Structure 1
Amino acid sequence: MTFDWVYFWESLFLPSPRFLSGLGLTIAISIVSMALALVLGLIIALMGRSRFIVLRMFASLYIWIIRGTPLLVQLVIIYTGFAAANVFRFEDITIGILVKGAVQASIVALMLHESAYISEIVRGGLESIERGQTEAALSLGMTPLSSMRWIIVPQAIRVMVPPLGNSFNGLMKSTSILSIIGVSEMFQVSTSMSAATFKVFEIYIVVALYYLLLTTIWTIIQTGIENHLNTKAGLPRAESIWKRLFGFRAKRDRTAPKNPLADKLEGVPA
């Protein structure tokens, strides 16, 4: 068996409408799931910081269970298990467009799974801000909610963007397992195409390149967001996209002041 270069290049640069439909569904599920996970993750994080023990216990149990079980198992339970147990069944609905039950279950499973991790990212971001800032805001007459809204969260967002970006990156790649419940996302479409054409290696290389393209585009967007937030905070820009992707970096400015600790360590034998 030889590699079919003609089929490979055609699939890469002239993908079929079916493949493009799967690509679009992958992007749509990723964005909607992440948006919902951000909201739920923030709620869970705030519950974990509540003064009410019941809310803190719920948040801790939620994070423990979701993070301790595989996404694939959660997906099958939500879509197949609940229906088999007559608990709940996802039916196709129309909201301007047809949204199949499997797609709804996929969004719910991805949302629940990611929200547990996002809640920990939010918790870490909020705890990175000195408690004295909250106390100062309260002493000025601000309510706990307003101090959180105007003082703590704006500073914590800059800390949370990199790990949140990594979560979204992982979520896009996790959509490939949705084929297990029949969602016609990019990987499932590619599997059907490879079965029909027997061009297994060629089509999966194409799929890998498209996933790489999606994650690269998001890396560029994430870098822009980080640079924007750093500029607003009066901090140095984040790493350039060239350094992040390929390791390129600007030459060190010899006229710039060195780190005092580095100066002391210069010449010290290893």
Structure 2
Amino acid sequence: MPGGRPGNPAYQQPLTTEDDVISVPLRRPWRWISAIAVLALLASFIYVVATNPNLDFATIGEFIFDARILEGVWLTLVITVVSMVVSTILSIIIAAMRLASNPVLSSVAWFYVWAFRGTPVLVQIVLWGYLGLLFDKITLGVPFTDVVFWQMDTNSLVTPFVAGLLALTLNQAAYSSEIVRAGMMSVDEGQREAAYSLGMSPLYTFRRVLLPQAMRVIIPPMGNELISMLKNTSLLSVIAVMELYTQASVISSTNLKQVELLLVVSIWYLFMTSVLSVPQYYLERRYGRGSSRNLPKTPWQRVRAAMDRRKPGPQPAPPTEIVSVVA
């Protein structure tokens, strides 16, 4: 009977046959070669940039926290948040109109999406900025009559900041409404029928049944739209809104350090997009709880798990030697 260790008389070699399969780990030399090649290219790029005599790193460090740059960063964030919040509300209304059985509502919503998606956002920004050329005054009164309750000069009401907000918000609402509509259509039709059978109104069904289930589909592309909105604020420089890119352009026009100021702007945009990606990640996890049995670990959970593995745990008891004796 086999047992014990090789030095024990009762030990027997395990039985083997010619049909046994010997597993050999698969070697992948090209994986290491490609990784080394990529690291070499990355190191060479960093070296070329770091040793470039035409790049003034002192200027980058001087203006990275300049008061004007920080003011532009703050205004960029304000425009992004306000435009995204308002456009999201509008997109839900437009998506509901597109899905409505009323032909007038669906047609108006379709025309809105068609018009704002079919024209460049830069053209829309310029049109809103030059609104005073089309209408001298904005009035509020009874249509088709001379009765006026309130009026104001257009240029005083629609400032460059307001024009930028209107352009970005209305344009983004058209794109976001299609994302919301796609999310609504991804929900099984039986959910709507079940809600109607319980006596729920279409609006209540949309708000309490369809929209929460569609958020799993809506959140990822809406996060991309948020980042796109952040970067599109740089287009407001054409109407002299003093956001981040406009502030950097004004500074570079005086010290002629265009490349350095562009790098400053790029650093800030990368930082802001990284920060805005964090809530998107956790929102995706929250609304994706019902689609996966086990959610992937967050970066913080992975760090904690790695630290726990490195901690010395209780040592197992030494194995006892079992010797079988042949009678």
The correspondence for 1:91, drawn from 147, 151, 156, is: 156
The correspondence for 2:116, drawn from 54, 66, 79, is: 66
Please report how far the alpha carbon of residue 227 of structure 1 lies from its aligned counterpart in structure 2 after TM superposition: 1.3
Counterpart of 1:83, as a letter, is G
Whether 2:110 is the aligned partner of 1:45: answer: no
Aligned length, in residue pairs: 233
Structure ranking higher in helix proportion: 1
Aligned counterparts of 2:248 and 2:121: Cα–Cα separation in 1: 21
Rg larger in structure: 2
Q: Secondary structure at the residue paired with 1:187?
A: helix
With 141-150 and 41-50 compared, the bigger mean Cα shift is at 141-150
Please report how far the alpha carbon of residue 52 of structure 1 lies from its aligned counterpart in structure 2 after TM superposition: 1.3
Aligned counterparts of 1:239 and 1:69: Cα–Cα separation in 2: 42
The Cα RMSD (Å) is 2.0
The correspondence for 1:215, drawn from 258, 262, 273, is: 273
Aligned counterparts of 2:103 and 2:80: Cα–Cα separation in 1: 33
- Give the aligned partner of residue 267 of structure 1: none
Counterparts in 2 of 1:35 and 1:62: CA distance versus 1, 3 Å: same
Counterparts in 2 of 1:102 and 1:48: CA distance versus 1, 3 Å: same
Whether 2:202 is the aligned partner of 1:133: answer: no
Aligned counterparts of 1:229 and 1:67: Cα–Cα separation in 2: 28
Whether 2:237 is the aligned partner of 1:179: answer: yes
Counterparts in 2 of 1:200 and 1:41: CA distance versus 1, 3 Å: same
Aligned counterparts of 2:133 and 2:189: Cα–Cα separation in 1: 49
The correspondence for 2:107, drawn from 49, 52, 57, is: 57
Aligned counterparts of 1:72 and 1:241: Cα–Cα separation in 2: 38
Matches within 5 A, 1:188-203: 188-203=246-261
- Give the aligned partner of residue 266 of structure 1: none
Aligned counterparts of 1:189 and 1:235: Cα–Cα separation in 2: 48
Residue by residue, what CA displacement relative to the aligned partner does 1:120-164 show, whole Å, maximum 9, x if unpaired? 001000000011111011112222222222211111112100011
Aligned counterparts of 2:259 and 2:124: Cα–Cα separation in 1: 30
Please report how far the alpha carbon of residue 230 of structure 1 lies from its aligned counterpart in structure 2 after TM superposition: 2.3
CA contact (8 A) 1:194 1:200 kept: yes
Aligned identity (percent) is: 36
Aligned counterparts of 1:84 and 1:214: Cα–Cα separation in 2: 36
CA contact (8 A) 1:230 1:238 kept: no
Whether 2:214 is the aligned partner of 1:156: answer: yes
With 145-154 and 16-25 compared, the bigger mean Cα shift is at 145-154
TM-score (ref. length: structure 1): 0.81
Aligned counterparts of 1:21 and 1:179: Cα–Cα separation in 2: 15
- Give the aligned partner of residue 169 of structure 2: 111
Give structure 1 stretches of 5+ with no counterpart. 93-99, 243-249, 251-270
Aligned counterparts of 2:297 and 2:126: Cα–Cα separation in 1: 40
- Give the aligned partner of residue 255 of structure 1: none
Counterpart of 2:220, as a letter, is P
Aligned counterparts of 1:102 and 1:151: Cα–Cα separation in 2: 40
Counterpart of 2:255, as a letter, is T
- Give the aligned partner of residue 288 of structure 2: 230
